[in-house]
């Protein structure tokens, strides 16, 4: 994914190596069940705990030290009030099976629980659970997100 993003930005590589890298990305997307397009903006420290059915919309913006579980969908909402894609902050953990939809902002140090459905903005240091997602405390992702920039 990162190789495709790099090659697409350089004119010399865009027409020769980018198509080959895109085919390789499609192969791995189908093999592992992880669909994160090369146009998605992701900071350093992406951690995917398990493979399988992870889908991220291409316009999503994700910060540093992002941890994502299997079965997660981060996508667009077509509700006129929240039409668009999420912006996710730094040090965020999204648990297995969670769904995040719409033009929302998830703050820094946030933990989203397993099978949670998030459709509203989440402030910094919050722990969100349930359907629909609700904040249960403000302890954040202190034990779930690891600084992988070392």
Confidence bin at 150 (pLDDT 50/70/90): very low
- Helix H or strand E segment including 68: strand 67-68
Mean pLDDT of 85-89: 92
For the chain, the structural domain boundaries read: 1-32, 34-137
Render pLDDT for 119-131 as a digit per residue (tens, 0 to 9). 999 999 999 999 8
The proportion of the chain whose per-residue pLDDT surpasses 90, expressed as a percent, equals: 35
Query: What value does the mean pLDDT of the chain take?
Result: 84
Q: What is the separation of C-alpha 25 from the centre of its chain, rounded to a whole number of angstroms?
A: 17
Identify the band that residue 147 occupies on the pLDDT scale cut at 50, 70 and 90.
low
Candidates 114, 136, 118, 138; CA nearest to 126 is 138
Convert the pLDDT of each residue in 18-64 to its tens digit.
788 888 888 887 888 888 888 888 888 888 888 778 989 999 999 99
Residue 68 has pLDDT above 60, yes or no: yes
- Kindly tell me if the per-residue pLDDT of 137 is higher than 80: yes
Where does residue 9 rank: exposed (0-12), middle (13-18), buried (19+ CB within 10 A)? Answer: exposed
Helix, coil or strand: residue 28:
helix
Whether the pLDDT of residue 74 is over 80: the answer is yes
Q: What are phi and psi of 136, to 5 degrees?
A: -105, -25
pTM of the model: 0.79
What's the pLDDT band for 99 if we cut at 50, 70, 90?
A: very high
CATH node for 34-137: 2.160.10.10
Tokens, residue 88 = 């996710």
Given this model, what pLDDT does residue 105 score? 93
Query: CB–CB of 108/91 below 8 Å?
Result: yes
């Amino acid at each position: 994914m990162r190789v495709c993003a790099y090659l697409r930005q350089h004119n010399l590589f865009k027409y020769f190596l980018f198509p080959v890298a895109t085919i390789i990305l499609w192969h791995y997307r189908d093999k592992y069940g992880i669909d994160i397009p090369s146009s998605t903006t992701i900071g350093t420290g992406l951690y995917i705990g398990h493979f399988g059915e992870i889908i991220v919309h291409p316009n999503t913006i994700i910060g540093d030290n992002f941890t994502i579980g299997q079965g997660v969908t981060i996508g667009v909402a077509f509700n006129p009030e929240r039409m668009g894609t999420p912006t996710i902050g730094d040090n965020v953990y999204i648990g297995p099976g969670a769904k995040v939809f719409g033009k929302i902002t998830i703050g820094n140090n946030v933990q989203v629980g397993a099978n949670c459905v998030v459709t509203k903005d989440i402030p910094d240091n919050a722990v969100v659970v349930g359907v629909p997602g609700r904040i249960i405390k403000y302890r954040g992702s202190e034990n779930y997100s690891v600084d992988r920039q070392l």
